[in-house]
Amino acid sequence: MNLREKIESGRFVITAEIGPPVGAGAEPLHKKAVHFRGVDAVNITDNQTAIVRMSSIACARILLEQGIEPVIQVTCRDRNRIAIQSDLLGAWALGIQNVLCLTGDFQTFGNHPESRGVFDLDSIQLAAAVRGMNEGRLMSGDEIKDPPRFFIGAAANPFAEPFDFRIERLGKKMKAGAGFIQTQPVFDIDHFRRWMEGLRSRGFHKRAAILAGIMPVKSAKALAHMEKEVPGMRIPGELFDRMEKAADPKEEGVRIAIETIRDLRSLEGLAGFHLMPLMWESITPRLLQESGLRSS
């Protein structure tokens, strides 16, 4: 069963995330991939935070060869609609079936701040374009003889203003074709519950699978870094206290992640989790086991 079939059959799914290597060797990817045996699919970021890395599609193909189902992330920052559509046709031909549609981090945050941002499309228009391709036509209206059949995903940030309109906007993403939604890492559980309530009151949880983001952090410093460097993050003060007071901050970070998973596991309308163990891929099997998400 692939990710689409699992989600459509109502199974609780776990996705995770890999950042591609900054280099032309596949070895680091092979090493990271070993830790993700227990998850249903793995996202491959597309030059995240605008830092040049190996192409998402190339990495996806490498993972596929290792028996891992990839989700390619596609951002609108670096490519216009011509390049994106062309890449997607190629991705399908390589056996890639899942696409996460993103607008993309602004280029000034990365290692080439002097570069030109494209932003020809936004994430919603991109999702609509992929759906059009699935239906056999390019954005121009031209017919695709051998169309792809991508499973379309999108991202959501429950923790940034304007809160209400963001929920409505998520509805637009679903209308544009998104079948699964991965959220930013959840640190503020109460806020996330309220957000889910907003989704449920509009029936959005039935239109797409909502996967809550989980990010284990290694130290209070890492947490502070996240809050400062990643725009739109919301981290409650008590979490900082816990991390600072902990004798073993790494252990505390894992514990917080596991608690979050257990807390949200039975939340009505939640269809799964999206794990983001950035720079800490090896912790994934432990997270899965100790949280009770995977038994063996």
**Residue 246 found at the interface with another protein (CB under 8 A):** no
User: Binder to another protein among 5, 135, 168, 268 (CB under 8 A)?
Assistant: 168
Interaction of residue 156 with another protein, rule CB under 8 A: yes
Residue from 175, 194, 225, 262 that binds another protein (CB under 8 A)?
175
∠ CA 159-163-168, rounded to 5°? 120
Q: Does 125 bind another protein (CB under 8 A)?
A: yes
Question: Is 239 among the residues that bind another protein (CB under 8 A)?
Answer: no
Stretch that binds another protein, among 22-30, 168-176, 216-224, 276-284 (CB under 8 A): 168-176
Interface with another protein, residue 292, by CB under 8 A: no
Q: DSSP for the chain?
A: --HHHHHHTT--EEEEEEPPPSSS-SHHHHHHHGGGTTSSEEEE-SSGGG---S-HHHHHHHHHHTT--EEEEEESSS--HHHHHHHHHHHHHTT--EEEEE----GGGSS-TTSPP--SS-HHHHHHHHHHHHTTB-TTSPBPSS---PEEEEEE-TTSSSHHHHHHHHHHHHHTT--EEEEEEP--HHHHHHHHHHHHHHTGGGTSEEEEEE---S-HHHHHHHHHHSTT----HHHHHHHHH-SSHHHHHHHHHHHHHHHHTT-TTEEEEEE--TT-GGGHHHHHHHTTS---
User: Which residue is associated with the tokens 């890395």?
Assistant: 53
Counting contacts by CB under 8 A, is residue 190 touching another protein?
no
Q: Which is nearer to another protein, 65 or 229 (CB)?
A: 229
Rank residues 49 and 219 by Cβ distance to another protein and give the closer one: 49
User: Does residue number 198 form part of the binding site for another protein (CB under 8 A)?
Assistant: no
User: Smallest distance from the beta carbon of 247 to another protein, in angstroms?
Assistant: 30
10 binds another protein (CB under 8 A): no
Task: For residue 39, give the nearest of 91, 101, 98, 95 by alpha carbon.
Answer: 98
What the block records as the tokens of 78 is 């670096």
Is residue 49 involved in binding another protein (CB under 8 A)? no
* Amino acid letter, 268: E
Q: Is 255 in the site for another protein (CB under 8 A)?
A: no
Contact with another protein (CB under 8 A): which of 27, 114, 164, 248?
Answer: 164
Stretch that binds another protein, among 55-63, 154-162, 239-247, 275-283 (CB under 8 A): 154-162
Q: Is residue 188 at the binding interface for another protein, with CB under 8 A as the rule?
A: no
Please identify which residue in 11, 122, 147, 255 interacts with another protein, judged by CB under 8 A. 122
Smaller CB separation from another protein, 132 or 249: 132
Residue numbers at the binding site for another protein (CB under 8 A):
81, 103-106, 108, 117, 119-125, 128-129, 139-140, 155-157, 160-162, 164-166, 168-169, 171-172, 175-176, 184, 231-232, 234
